[in-house]
Amino acid sequence: MDWKAVGRLVALALLLTSTACAPMWVTYTPAAAPAPTATALVPAGPTEAVVVSSSPTPEPPLAALVNGQPVYLSDYEREASLSSRGIDPNSAEGQENLARARAWVLNVMIEQVLTEQTAAAEGVVVSDADVDAYVQVMVEENGGDEAYRAKLAEWGETYEDAWKEVRAQLIGMAMAQRVVDRVPTTAEHVHARHILVDNPTEAERILAQLQGGADFAALAQSYSQDTSTRESGGDLGFFPRGILMAPEVEEAAFALQPGQFSGVVSSALGYHVVQVVERDPAGPVSPENLRLMQDRAVQEWVEWLWAQASVERFVETAP
């Protein structure tokens, strides 16, 4: 176990998207009401609702207020100082890196508060015993209590600081698992293929040839600029919703029946012609696609946390 990765404050978004499950000794109690689906957690509207305030800093000094809950300036300054070690503040690049590090730290601390608030509302509990067990592993892997506390001191932290940070991380992991568990393991799939070109005129010409009976695979091999699928005749394989890099192509594919062609589909990648080969109304999601769907569900959940939050910031993170 990497002590810095576990003992230090870790970005919640990074922690969530890289954690498929919580440690086996972490338990949580789900809310009594049935859990909504992952997609139902995401409301329409902006992904962040932040009120920037220049009002006088309350006592004790605050870095932020998150739905009325304080993030203390002393905690923020300690974490910001740790995150900026090794950055040269005397250069323009160093100033930019310092500003990014400070902004990152504050966002992490805000997300931790939002996560803990949501966990409390949903009845998710990480017990003191859970935290103690996790910390004990860290203590043992760092040569015992004295050596562990010495390492903490090097970082300007107390044992109590580290304990609280571990607790916050375990809550984040438990909440991530809660979201991941809602992602279905079976879903509607389509088997599609596409041809990608860089201008609409060429795409229209290719579509006309297809409608005239030309072979899709042969045209893809001759003209498609998607090097990952060109040799296979543009074959995208079977996929569920929420997987493709170009959502416009995915939307077009799910609107087609086997054998049908789309019109010219514009995306950030270029111009596509899509054909559906076959459909499966309830196919198993592959492990790779399941992980992508889980990562996306967690990211959407994090965006939801920000969308419903009221945040006041009392520190300037710009250089």
Same structural domain, 134 and 212: no
pLDDT tens for 208-242 read: 999 999 999 999 999 999 999 999 999 999 999 99
Q: Which two tokens stand for residue 272?
A: 């596509």
Q: How far apart are CA 250 and CA 224, in angstroms?
A: 17
pLDDT of residue 318: 62
The model's pLDDT over 260-271, given as tens digits with 9 standing for 90+, comes to 999 999 999 999
Is residue 291, in this structure, part of any structural domain at all? no
Q: Are residues 174 and 112 located together in one domain of the fold?
A: yes
10-residue stretch averages of pLDDT, the chain, 319 residues long: 33 34 29 35 39 58 96 91 80 86 94 96 95 95 94 89 93 96 97 97 98 97 97 97 94 98 97 98 96 94 96 82
Same domain as 279, residue 151:
no
Q: What is the pLDDT of residue 53?
A: 54
Q: Residue 19: which of 173, 184, 179 has the closest Cα?
A: 173
Which domain does 158 fall in, by range? 3-183+296-313
The alpha helices in 122-215, defined as continuous H runs, are 128-141, 145-154, 159-180, 200-211
State residue 219's pLDDT score: 98
- DSSP letter string, 75-101: HHHHHHHHHTTT--TTSHHHHHHHHHH
Q: Are residues 44 and 141 in the same domain?
A: yes
Q: How many domains does the chain have?
A: 2
What is the spatial distance between Cα 1 and Cα 116, in angstroms, rounded to a whole number? Answer: 24
Q: Do 133 and 271 lie in a common domain?
A: no
Locate 102 and state its tokens.
Answer: 């400070």
Whether residue 304 contacts residue 289, with contact meaning beta carbons closer than 8 Å, is answered with: no
Whether 118 and 20 share a structural domain = yes
Q: Is 154 a domain residue?
A: yes
302 lies in the same domain as 279: no
Instruction: Please indicate, yes or no, if residue 260 is contained in any of the structural domains.
Output: yes
Question: Is there a single domain that holds both residue 196 and residue 101?
Answer: no
In a domain, 319, yes or no: no
Q: How far is the C-alpha of 153 from the C-alpha of 145, rounded, in Å?
A: 12
E strand intervals along the chain: 50-52, 62-66, 69-72, 186-197, 235-239, 265-267, 270-284, 311-313
The dihedrals phi and psi of 313, each to the nearest 5 degrees, come to: -110, 140
Dist. CA 72–CA 76, nearest whole Å:
6
Pair (246, 115) in one structural domain:
no
CA distance 225 to 195: 8
* Same domain assignment for residues 30 and 148: yes
Query: Do 217 and 73 share a structural domain?
Result: no
pLDDT at 54: 56
Supply the CATH number for residue 269's domain: 3.10.50.40
Separation of alpha carbons 203 and 64, rounded Å: 51
